[in-house]
Amino acid sequence: MGYLFTSESVSEGHPDKVADQISDAVLDELLRQDANSKVACETLVTTGLVVVSGEVRTSGYVPVQKVARDTIKRIGYTEADYMFDSGSCGVISALHEQSDDINRGVDRDGEDNQGAGDQGMMFGYACKDTENYMPLPLYLSHVLLQELADIRREGKEMTYLRPDSKSQVTIKYNDDNTPVDVDTIVVSTQHDPFDADDDVMQKKIEDDVRNILIPRVKAKLREGIQKLFNGYKLHVNPTGRFVIGGPHGDTGLTGRKIIVDTYGGKGAHGGGAFSGKDCSKVDRSAAYASRHIAKNMVAAGVADEVLVQVAYAIGVAQPVGLYVNTYGSANVKLTDGEIAEKINELFDLRPGKIISRLGLKNPIFTPTAAYGHMGRDPYTDKVTFLENGEEVEREVEFFTWEKLDYVDKIKEAFGL
């Protein structure tokens, strides 16, 4: 009979994502100056106001006002009519020093023995829905909003667009978990006021989503996914009007979009948010490591779908447990427990080793704070560091946890 599964995404202009991006921009600025910075930065955004708070331990200095305003400007909140404007909003900084009680559990003799920054469990997931091994409903939800943002920035079509938007995609799967149809698409986008009445305005936006946005999205998809767009139901701005949005329409907080950030409800989530945290916090580093493991396992052919859980005790380097679930899709004659044992031998999951393996002391986190931390294409770019009072440019790898660099090792270990 099959089933339906739904995931949502939110744009870079969504208030919670504005908060996430400011928090990660603060983190990146401190890592740019001091790679050993310990940061837990929380941001609140509301009408005309940004509040940045949290705990840091660093030799660097972050100009919070400039970082926040530059981030807001890049997102697109540059008009007074938005009631949240990069040039005029208030910015309050309430950063203070990290607790010694927390720091003593993290710092150890030798980075390899660095303790976990907190207790908790983290999950990684991968499946064969898409070429980047992400669930199709979330993948399409992200692509819709990325393309909508591109259209807004180009300024040639849909010129009424404002930064805040949301999407939701429902996919029909058959009983063997293969996507067979796009069932429903929901797009809600903030917009300028129209001179026309609400019905005319809504019809214009719906027509543009159907005839401009969705064809542009489909053109970026592989043929197999394009064929799933058959008679889907489309809902655009279902309330009929979306002029008031962004931090003026809804207060935003760091860490409130953790399902958007990960797998759209597929697999599992340990509950910890990512943005604003340096990678001594295993909420972030171990979640990335778990995704790295799951993606490489599926790419290597160990299973068609994989969930990986790793768990820690605060201040302790070695994980307290590693769990693997292949949902009965394993292509090897081993139990999930036996698969987990082999994976545990291949990947060193001590926090220090994860940070070293994935290059997580680099200022690479602002791009993660919108459109998902997982399923992104890894790339290399030049970043300016501040060293001994001088700016030095170096090449840095982004989204390293998405690299398929362990496929051959996994194949050898499993005899594939």
Residue positions forming the annotated binding site for K(+): 42
Residue 112 structure tokens: 């390899």
| Residues whose CB falls within 8 Å of the CB of residue 24, separated by 6 or more in sequence, listed in order | 275, 276, 365, 366, 368, 369
Tell me how far apart the alpha carbons of residues 229 and 213 are, in angstroms, rounded to a whole number: 13
Distances (CA, A) of 295 to 216, 249, 308: 28, 37, 10
Annotated binding site for L-methionine: 55, 98, 250, 281
Annotated binding site for Mg(2+): 16
Annotated binding site for ATP: 14, 164-166, 241-242, 250, 256-257, 273, 277
Q: Residue 113: which H helix or E strand, with range?
A: none
Tell me how far apart the alpha carbons of residues 233 and 229 are, in angstroms, rounded to a whole number: 10
Annotated binding site: 14, 16, 42, 55, 98, 164-166, 241-242, 250, 256-257, 273, 277, 281
Tell me how far apart the alpha carbons of residues 216 and 190 are, in angstroms, rounded to a whole number: 19
Residues pairing with 55 in the sheet? 40, 96
Instruction: Report CA Rg, the chain.
Output: 22
Under a CB-based contact definition with an 8 Å cutoff, are residues 11 and 65 in contact? no
Beta pairing class for 390-398 and 379-387:
antiparallel
